[in-house]
Amino acid sequence: MRVKTKQDRRRRISLRQRKKIGGTSERPRLAVFRSLTHISAQVIDDTTGTTVVSASSTEPSVKAGFADGARGGNVAGAQVIGKLVAERTLEKGITSVVFDRGGFLYHGRVRKVADAARDGGLKF
């Protein structure tokens, strides 16, 4: 795969990571996706190919819960998404996950999602 754009590079890194990272029903994969204006996280069971839990900054209920200055494109919004996905995952009875940064650098919003999920009670 030839790298021509930033998206190609991220996809290549993501595929390389997915060789090593996989989610099971006991320990699913917490996948993070960020765009310029939004961020989302999904807890995925790769053995069945199903999404167990998801949270996104595009959901109307989440947008209403954002505090002053928080939105999907900044770290305050990413922290809200991480906490929300942790709450929803614990409601399903899952306490441990595998973190998948999806080819993005573990920095900024991606790191805040992971830290907030850990603070919310998830183990990884």
If you average pLDDT over residues 94-119, what whole number do you get? 96
If you average pLDDT over residues 86-90, what whole number do you get? 97
List own/partner pairs for 50-55 with CB under 8 A and 24 or more apart.
52/28, 52/89, 52/92, 52/94, 53/85, 53/88, 53/89, 53/92, 53/94, 54/85, 54/88, 55/81, 55/84, 55/85, 55/88
- pLDDT band with cut points at 50, 70 and 90 for residue 3: confident
What digits encode the pLDDT tens for the residues 23-62? Answer: 888 999 999 999 999 999 999 999 999 999 999 999 999 9
If you average pLDDT over residues 61-79, what whole number do you get? 90
- pLDDT band with cut points at 50, 70 and 90 for residue 1: low
What domains does the chain contain, in order, with CATH numbers? 6-119 (3.30.420.100)
If you average pLDDT over residues 99-116, what whole number do you get? 96
State pTM to two decimals.
0.89
Pair 82, 115: CB distance under 8 Å: yes
